[in-house]
Amino acid sequence: MGLVHLQTFRVRYAETDQMGALSSPRALEWFEFGRTEWLRAADLPYSRMETEGLFLPVVEANCRYLRRVRFDDPIILRTRLSQAGRASLRFDYEAVLDGVPDHPQVLLGWTLHAFVDANGQLMRPPAETRCQLRPLVSPDPAS
Amino acid sequence: MGLVHLQTFRVRYAETDQMGALSSPRALEWFEFGRTEWLRAADLPYSRMETEGLFLPVVEANCRYLRRVRFDDPIILRTRLSQAGRASLRFDYEAVLDGVPDHPQVLLGWTLHAFVDANGQLMRPPAETRCQLRPLVSPDPAS
Amino acid sequence: MGLVHLQTFRVRYAETDQMGALSSPRALEWFEFGRTEWLRAADLPYSRMETEGLFLPVVEANCRYLRRVRFDDPIILRTRLSQAGRASLRFDYEAVLDGVPDHPQVLLGWTLHAFVDANGQLMRPPAETRCQLRPLVSPDPAS
Amino acid sequence: MGLVHLQTFRVRYAETDQMGALSSPRALEWFEFGRTEWLRAADLPYSRMETEGLFLPVVEANCRYLRRVRFDDPIILRTRLSQAGRASLRFDYEAVLDGVPDHPQVLLGWTLHAFVDANGQLMRPPAETRCQLRPLVSPDPAS
């Protein structure tokens, strides 16, 4: 139940730092990429939401870095909507290493979002948006 | 007690996104900048630590976005070492808006770090490093 | 003749700035991504080159921004090796908008690279690397 | 003659890549930072220009990477307005290494800009803006 979106990509060179692994801030760019694709898969493309005056800024973000991710590593990013409140959403993310047995976890994170209008004022999304989102919630990683 | 480092800077244009405010991943770059300067102020410049084989990758990061930060806004970033374990450190960050009364908070965050060697293996830092860090811990925002 | 690599992707939200289009520095990240994939297609994956002690830093970069690229726009990036000198390479890049008639150009650019060793000293690549690269040169956009 | 703005800063960790030096796209972020500060010094803060409906997107950018720049290196960035056309500007940039004798050059670059309105249409800036800019042009590095 719920919608879990899988996105595959490789670690770009510009995403590394001199420690020879993923630069930690870039993980949040991956999460943003993951939820963009989740929203598209949910038939709620974010570019259309913004055109219609609905914005989803990040209110809080969290990321655990479980294992080094290196340049060119193939990644599978699993994105799910874990909570859908009246005027907020929470997305959960799990990045695993592709191309090796057992797909070890490399990142676990979540972001909390508020619905706001173009002026940054909190607002409730239209009823149909909420209707569309509700059945897609996947509260549990295993679900 | 403890060492709280203050860093002032302005929001760069490249740090915004089309929502017209700070792109959320960039907050983690600020935190990295803040702890670089904290370590320099503590006479433990990170560039020297890496030369000596001691690395401080991020194990977990958290950020709350309390208020929109816009291009060119003057920021004061307060960085403190909130915990110093045997082989780990935790830094806390508070970014406030400069140039307006009461300096409203815009970001609150923390990062957890492990000491590792060049191969990414956990290690304890040298005793003198721990001695240097211990009195600089500032567990409480008010301290 | 020559090898022209095509890479398709969408503009990520983090790649925009408050002007509502691609942040100009990000174009150079795309070029880096394009040549990573070109080298893989040429059976010279860059991750392996670095492991073998051969590095390709950018010596000069140029980019023309011909048309606004917006968040979520589908992009086709064409990368070709336009010159292969004794110890240098030049790549040329053309990004066009996908999903619209005639695929209008959005970016045109090039990067010049030197072969260096791990210490940053200029070096000639192994003879077999040069042999592998020579037939893949595509000096002319139309070729 | 003309206005040359000097900006000093250190290379941030997030600005490196696994080659252990400045990631090449970040140079264009520095140039953006340099011209933001140049415009402020010219009493034409870019944040105000955008508020008044005048935008300065990059039309072309060029950068030569003359010498490795490493994490924490102190940098002096010299920005000057090298051309001011009817509806375009060109800025030139020179980054040198601080804290060592003779301040060796590390980057040389330029960006070309068009004045556009909020819809991206070319426009001439107000006469007073052009009057303000003209005496600040510094066509020659030595001037």
What's the mean pLDDT in B21-26? 98
Distance from C-alpha of B31 to C-alpha of D130, rounded to nearest angstrom: 39
Q: Report in angstroms the alpha-carbon separations of C71 from A105, C9, C101.
A: 29, 11, 19
pLDDT value of position D143: 46
Nearest to C63 among D55, D57, D60 (CB): D60
- Alpha carbons within 13 A on the beta-carbon side of B97: 17
| Residue D86 burial class via C-beta count within 10 angstroms: exposed 0-12, middle 13-18, buried 19 and up | exposed
Would the pLDDT of A143 be above 50?
A: no
Would the pLDDT of C6 be above 70?
A: yes
**B4-135: CATH architecture:** Roll (3.10)
Closest CA to C32 of A22, D113, A33, D17: D17
Q: What is the pLDDT of residues C58-68, one digit of tens each?
A: 999 999 999 99
Residues of A in contact with D21 (CB under 8 A): 18
Q: What is the mean pLDDT of chain B?
A: 96
Nearest to D13 among B10, B14, B36 (CB): B36
Distance from C-alpha of C28 to C-alpha of A13, rounded to nearest angstrom: 11
Would the pLDDT of C142 be above 70?
A: no
Nearest to B29 among D10, D12, D45 (CB): D12
The hierarchical CATH code for the domain C4-136 is 3.10.129.10
Would the pLDDT of C143 be above 70?
A: no
Could A16 and D17 be called an inter-chain contact, meaning their C-beta atoms sit closer than 8 Å?
yes
Distance from C-alpha of C60 to C-alpha of C83, rounded to nearest angstrom: 14
Local structure of A118: helix, strand or coil: coil
What's the mean pLDDT in C86-106? 97
Distance from C-alpha of D143 to C-alpha of D137, rounded to nearest angstrom: 10
Would the pLDDT of B11 be above 60?
A: yes
Distance from C-alpha of C70 to C-alpha of C76, rounded to nearest angstrom: 14
Q: What is the pLDDT of residues A38-75, one digit of tens each?
A: 999 999 999 999 999 999 999 999 999 999 999 999 99
Q: How confident is the model at residue C141 (pLDDT cuts 50, 70, 90)?
A: confident
**Min Cα–Cα distance to chain B from D3, Å:** 21
pLDDT value of position B141: 78
Would the pLDDT of C72 be above 80?
A: yes
pLDDT-above-70 percentage for chain D: 98
Instruction: Write down the domain spans for chain B.
Output: 4-135
Q: What is the mean pLDDT of chain D?
A: 96
- Take residue A73 and report the two structure tokens written for it: 């590593």
What's the mean pLDDT in A95-104? 96
Distance from C-alpha of B79 to C-alpha of B38, rounded to nearest angstrom: 7
pLDDT value of position D140: 83
pLDDT value of position C140: 83
pLDDT value of position D23: 98
Give every CB contact of residue A138 below 8 A, 6+ residues apart in sequence: A1, A2, A3, A4, A80, A81, A82
Q: What is the pLDDT of residues D66-116, one digit of tens each?
A: 999 999 999 999 999 999 999 999 999 999 999 999 999 999 999 999 999
What's the mean pLDDT in D103-131? 96
Would the pLDDT of B120 be above 60?
A: yes
Q: How confident is the model at residue B140 (pLDDT cuts 50, 70, 90)?
A: confident
| Residue D45 burial class via C-beta count within 10 angstroms: exposed 0-12, middle 13-18, buried 19 and up | middle
- Whether pTM > 0.95 for this model: the answer is yes
Closest residue in A to B28 (Cα) is A25
Residues of C in contact with B29 (CB under 8 A): none
**Min Cα–Cα distance to chain A from B119, Å:** 10
Nearest to A65 among B27, B50, B59 (CB): B59
One of 2.30.130.10, 3.30.980.10, 3.10.129.10, 3.40.50.920 is the CATH number of A4-134, namely 3.10.129.10
Would the pLDDT of B143 be above 80?
A: no
Residues of B in contact with D10 (CB under 8 A): 36
**Min Cα–Cα distance to chain C from B18, Å:** 4
What's the mean pLDDT in A22-51? 98
